[in-house]
Amino acid sequence: VQAVQSLERIEALYARQRTQLGNTLRGLLAEFGIVLPKGPGHLACRLPELMASPAFAAVPAALHEALAELFDQFLAAGERLAEAKRRLVRAAGRDPRARLLVSVPGIGPLVAAGFLAAVGEATRFDSGRGLAVWLGLTPKLYQSGERCYLLGISKRGNERLRSLLVVGAQSMLRRYAEGRYPGDPLAEWARALLNRKPRNVAAVALANKIARIAWRVAVSGQPYRPRHA
């Protein structure tokens, strides 16, 4: 488990480095009127072509070499990140606790490794609800007199694990909306929720439920088994 936790932290470090380099490049170019869409994929694909364009030629020549060096560092950070993810997936595949967590819908090797790195021993939480509260996946509650409001999520706890769970929930929502997993109670619940709530609200609610299921799987030592109707 400790090896998986260490590899997860290394992967998170490389992800932050690539994000910092990409944001710096995008910000410097924006100061000279060159606006690029968000996302590392857009930057990696469009920047080589941009450097050969007349718009880049208008950038002061003193910056050309520095920007090219930043771009090389950005590409190198992406390669390090990809290799770190491959190592993490291999290590998670050898860890029995990570294999248990992968049985939960919306949790892959990366999310399982992030769960182990952030949570450690799931038994330190009294319930799955306690884990979801710690992760910041529960709404804030405001009460005044006879009125009760549920506000946005609190965003406490581990930001990276919360983001991974929400991304996993969004992926599962797309599959559920396509009608996959008929008879699965979780899929039926998610489809009914999508009919009542906006997609992002439903994704956070599903991430909350996934976190609680993951807690039960980690505590019981048994893989996830949906109860079919």
How would you write the pLDDT of the chain (229 residues) with one tens digit per residue?
Answer: 677 778 888 888 999 999 999 999 888 888 888 888 888 888 888 888 887 778 777 888 888 888 889 889 999 999 999 999 888 888 877 888 888 898 888 898 888 888 888 887 888 888 888 888 888 888 777 777 777 776 677 667 778 888 889 999 999 988 888 878 777 888 888 888 888 888 888 898 999 999 999 999 999 888 888 765 4
pLDDT of 229? 42
Distance CA 145, CA 129 (A): 26
Helix (H, G, I), strand (E, B) or coil at 144: strand
pLDDT of 110? 83
pLDDT of 34? 82
pLDDT of 154? 67
CA-to-CA dists, residue 207 to 24, 151, 192, 204, angstroms: 31, 17, 15, 5
Helix (H, G, I), strand (E, B) or coil at 145: coil
DSSP 8-state secondary structure symbol assigned to residue 147: E
pLDDT of 116? 84
pLDDT of 47? 80
92-124 in b/e burial notation, b at 16+ Cβ within 10 A?
beebebbebbbebbbbbbbbbbbbbbbbeebee
